[in-house]
Amino acid sequence: MEKILQGNYAIARGAWEAGVKVACAYPGTPSSEIIFAISSQYKKDIQAEWSPNEKVALEVASGASFAGARALACMKHVGLNVASDPFMTLSYTGVKGGLVVLVADDPYAHSSQNEQDSRHWARFGKVPMIEPSDSQECKDFTKLAFDLSEQFDTPVLMRTETRISHSFSPVLLEDRRESLIPIGLDVKDAPKYTMVPIYVRMRRVVVEERMKKLEAFADEFKYNVMEINDPKIGVITSGVCYNYAKEVFPNYSYLKLGIVWPLPKKIIREFFAKVKKVIIVEELDPFLETEIRAMGYKIFHGKDVLPSLYEFNPEIIEKAIKGKRYKPPKERINVDELPKRPPNLCSACSHRPFFYALKKLGVFVFGDIGCYTLAAAPPLNAVHSTVCMGAGVGGAFGASKALGKEGLGKVCSVIGDSTFLHGGITPLMDIVYNKGNATTIILDNRTTGMTGLQEHPGTGFTITGEPTNQIDLEVLVRALGVKHVRKVDPYHIKETMEVIKEEIERDEASVIITVNGPCMLHRREKRKFEHPYYEIEIGNCRGCGMCLDIGCPAISWREVMGEEALTTDGHKRKGVVSINRLQCPGCGVCQQICKFESIVPGKA
Amino acid sequence: MEEKVTNVLLSGVGGQGTILASDILCSVFHEIGYDVKKSEVHGMAQRGGDVTTHFRFGKKVYSPLIKYGDVDFLISFELLEGLRYINWVKKEGKVLLNDQEVYPPAVNLGKMKYPEEVAKTFKKLFKGNAFVIKALDIAVKCGDARAINIVTLGAFSKFFDIKDEIWERNLLQHLPEKVHQLNLNAFREGKMAI
């Protein structure tokens, strides 16, 4: 049966068909759907979990592999940085049950803090990497990755990019086949799995021998596909770029690589013998180009014309290769002048009033990865640093060390509930242990918001919705030694500001946790607001725009003239605001900001 | 079957049902024998940003993204989001617009003006190939403002010679049962809108 599947769902299907028993991930765009799909469709056969972070995800998967089960760990490109510690050494231990690490890159950083190219991890870690180019290959390659892993006793990296993970195309479905490897642990395997120097040196030899065998395998890999059309120009490419190039230059010859590490040198040599000039089409870094140049070949075009920047598309490739011969379509209007529509915090989001309070206090905010990055945009402009998950907690501590007593009251870090559990606990431990005075603010919206509402160890539910232990954040931070823990309702701006001020001025470590502010998109937890919506008392509105400072999508301003340019009590005004009733859930934050009593509760 | 690949670009604002509409298109055209690919292009989903979906069908489809300037059909659920992609449409391409304005932040803040007479601009440039429908009004009349995507699909179905039975069956497969009748009505009303 054929079904149209998203790349990520095809990977989930592939894992199921391959007989996978354990699948772990921390959510991260564009990889998040894989584990969700597994947990919702294949939970009978696969134990899926949201892990606290990617390192744990890979460690759990590796343990399952050592015990003979096929196991999958999924992450976005920066997730592999977190998981890199076990990853680099798992290359030495090898596997028992197939172990696949799915890593999803995000060229042009649609939803990421950088644009790193994960192919380097394959070379760095000495493990094979395969790269599918559509949903069918996502499924096929996932299955193949597990076979490869067991055949060569190695973790296997499978790399996708946003456009593979999030595109849909038809997939032929097949049945599940259980792995033939028996489940069980054997203490006699210790030298294989215990990476102390004496065994490391032994395994290092195995790793190098394995690379040799993998090179021979790559040479014969059936998913390296050569298409000889016009022999004048040949394109070497892989993954989604093959589709873009094929679209704009259907007559060129192609070598589409299914395995990008180790490099399949034999077929590359054959291709060079068959075509006159070679163009290498790859997104991000010149990975293939560098390796192919090192083989001694001259390349007609590569990164000299194709950018290292941007996410590719057919136009970018056509333009780069055609150069001056490229004729862009006629521009009808200049669309750059149109108002943009950037993502925004939702109406009534509990983060909005909290960041407004921080802005009013003029504090330098070390932020984190998640919806709060949206508070970096105008009009809030209330996040001043974002590096990676957990980085803000340590960052604020470092800044407070640099600033000394002068820094009191001027700096804090803000992190979410899910990201605090991902990477915020250890730096907070550091603040207490090393007698710091930094303030850590946990904005607890009861879910992993930005990636699409995934459960985590603080929500009290597992990925399948089963009730489980729920971490009490206050108890946790007190156990780390934090003496000053405050809870605030973020929707009360004045009190929030007072609490923040007291804590950031305190010369001791402190933590503020927001309460009763679940994500507005949360299905299970909802905050009840006192009023169904708010509206403008039009006679009172001075059009001052104070309420616009919170950037609420429901509030808009318009210019007024003539009779309308006066309030009921005769004050001149240039405009008035209005509240879109359909978009206003009634949080009342704007009412607290208005100085002219022109925002009033609406009637049910 | 035609060798040529047909390119459909759907644009709108997060929450307008762009993605569901493209899911339905995918299954309809796949059922009648085409290769299909679709790709959602959006930043941080669900946060009020713009959402576009590239949908392509043909004998064999390679790229999941449409090439700039190669759009055969532009379907937009919002006027500004339609205008944003006006340069993507082929000279002889068709445009289907829902006559609805959703203000972006810069307009809400009074810093920029919402573009005027968007529908007119399209009509001037695309003449008889520009179709404007009041999908929101029709959806509300059918009982739920959220059905604008299905109303628009109904209108879009008129461009093709595909049996209603195929459209409607695929439509229902993507929707929970309790809204089946409402959406069937929305689809049928949409067909009458152009």
Residue A45 tokens read as 């056969």
3-state SS assignment for residue B19: helix
Is A369:A395 a contact under the CB 8 Å cutoff? no
What is the pLDDT, as a whole number, of residue B44? Answer: 59
Q: Which residues of B150-187 are buried (b: 16+ CB within 10 A; e: fewer)?
A: bbbbbbbbeeeeeeeeebbebbbeebeeebeebbbbbb
Cα–Cα distance measured from residue A455 to residue A40, given in angstroms and rounded to the nearest whole number: 13
In chain B, which residue's Cα lies nearest the Cα of A106? B43
Residue B106 above 60 pLDDT? yes
Please list every residue in chain A whose beta carbon sits closer than 8 Å to the beta carbon of residue B51.
none
What CA dihedral angle connects A521, A523, A528 and A529, to 10 degrees? Answer: 20
Angle at A139 between CA A22 and CA A461, to 5 degrees: 35
Q: Closest Cα of chain B to A349: distance in Å? A: 11
What is the pLDDT, as a whole number, of residue A172? Answer: 98
Phi and psi of A488, rounded to 5°? Answer: -130, 150
Is B191:B160 a contact under the CB 8 Å cutoff? no
Please list every residue in chain B whose beta carbon sits closer than 8 Å to the beta carbon of residue A558.
110
User: Chain B interface, mutation test: which of A341, A374, A380, most B Cβ atoms within 10 Å?
Assistant: A341
Residue A432 above 60 pLDDT? yes
- Please name the helix (run of DSSP H) or strand (run of DSSP E) that holds residue A61, with its range, or none: helix A54-66
Residue B179 tokens read as 């809204």
Instruction: Work out the average pLDDT over A6-31.
Output: 97
Residue A414 tokens read as 């803000």
What is the pLDDT, as a whole number, of residue A7? Answer: 98
Residue A333: other Cβ atoms inside 10 A: 14
Q: Which residues of A77-112 are buried (b: 16+ CB within 10 A; e: fewer)?
A: bbbbbbbbebbeebbbbbbbbbbbbbbbbbbbebbb
In chain B, which residue's Cα lies nearest the Cα of A578? B108
Q: What is the CATH number of domain A351-514?
A: 3.40.50.970
Confidence of residue A603 (pLDDT cuts 50, 70, 90): confident
Instruction: Work out the average pLDDT over A60-87.
Output: 98
pTM of the model: 0.96
Quick one: how far is CA A479 from the chain centroid? 30
Q: What is the CATH number of domain A225-325?
A: 3.40.50.920
What is the pLDDT, as a whole number, of residue B14? Answer: 83
- Could you list the beta-strand ranges (E) of A391-539: 411-416, 439-443, 484-488, 510-514, 534-536
Residue pLDDT, tens place only, A176-186: 999 999 999 99
Beta bridge partners of A422: none
Cα–Cα distance measured from residue A454 to residue A93, given in angstroms and rounded to the nearest whole number: 32
What is the pLDDT, as a whole number, of residue B3? Answer: 75
**Residue ranges covered by each domain of chain B:** 6-192
Equal CATH topology for A2-220 and A351-514: yes
Cα–Cα distance measured from residue A11 to residue A102, given in angstroms and rounded to the nearest whole number: 9
What is the pLDDT, as a whole number, of residue B118? Answer: 97
What is the pLDDT, as a whole number, of residue A291? Answer: 98
Residue pLDDT, tens place only, B25-49: 999 999 999 999 999 886 555 567 8
Cα–Cα distance measured from residue B49 to residue B82, given in angstroms and rounded to the nearest whole number: 14
Please list every residue in chain A whose beta carbon sits closer than 8 Å to the beta carbon of residue B83.
333, 335, 338
What is the pLDDT, as a whole number, of residue B60? Answer: 96
Residue A37 tokens read as 């799909």
Q: What is the CATH number of domain A534-601?
A: 3.30.70
Residue pLDDT, tens place only, A536-584: 999 999 999 999 999 999 999 999 999 999 999 999 999 999 999 988 9
Instruction: Work out the average pLDDT over A166-183.
Output: 97
Please list every residue in chain B whose beta carbon sits closer than 8 Å to the beta carbon of residue A328.
68-69
Cα–Cα distance measured from residue A253 to residue A230, given in angstroms and rounded to the nearest whole number: 6
Residue with tokens 């007989």: A19
User: Chain A interface, mutation test: which of B24, B60, B63, most A Cβ atoms within 10 Å?
Assistant: B63
What is the pLDDT, as a whole number, of residue A49? Answer: 98
Pick from A248, A341, A371: which is nearest to B104 by CB? A341
Contact A548 B38 (CB under 8 A): no
CATH class of A2-220: alpha beta
| Paired sense of beta strands B71-76 and B35-41, if any | unpaired
Residue pLDDT, tens place only, A324-362: 999 999 999 999 999 999 888 999 999 999 999 999 999
Residue B1 above 70 pLDDT? no
Residue A429 above 70 pLDDT? yes
Phi and psi of A267, rounded to 5°? Answer: -70, -30
Residue A388 above 60 pLDDT? yes
Residue B12 tokens read as 């709108």
Beta bridge partners of A511: A440, A485
Contact A170 B35 (CB under 8 A): yes
Instruction: Work out the average pLDDT over A21-27.
Output: 98
Residue pLDDT, tens place only, A487-537: 999 999 999 999 999 999 999 999 999 999 999 999 999 999 999 999 999
3-state SS assignment for residue A164: helix
Choose which CATH entry (3.30.420.10, 3.80.10.10, 3.30.1340.10, 3.40.920.10) describes domain B6-192: 3.40.920.10
Secondary structure letter of residue A80 according to DSSP: H
Secondary structure letter of residue A7 according to DSSP: H
Cα–Cα distance measured from residue A591 to residue A551, given in angstroms and rounded to the nearest whole number: 14
What is the pLDDT, as a whole number, of residue B47? Answer: 65
Residue A227 above 60 pLDDT? yes
Nearest to B7 by CA among B34, B31, B33: B34
Phi and psi of A116, rounded to 5°? Answer: -65, 150
What is the pLDDT, as a whole number, of residue B105? Answer: 86
Residue A311: other Cβ atoms inside 10 A: 20
Please list every residue in chain A whose beta carbon sits closer than 8 Å to the beta carbon of residue B30.
2, 4, 170
**Residue ranges covered by each domain of chain A:** 2-220, 225-325, 351-514, 534-601
Considering chain A, what is the average pLDDT of its residues? 97
CA of A409: how far to CAs of A95, A208, A399, B103, B152, in Å? Answer: 51, 55, 12, 38, 54
What is the pLDDT, as a whole number, of residue B2? Answer: 65
Question: Looking at the predicted complex, does its ipTM rise above 0.85?
Answer: yes
Cα–Cα distance measured from residue A434 to residue A418, given in angstroms and rounded to the nearest whole number: 25
Secondary structure letter of residue A548 according to DSSP: G
CA of A510: how far to CAs of A498, A505, B61, in Å? Answer: 14, 10, 57
A with B: how many residue pairs have Cβ under 8 Å apart?
157
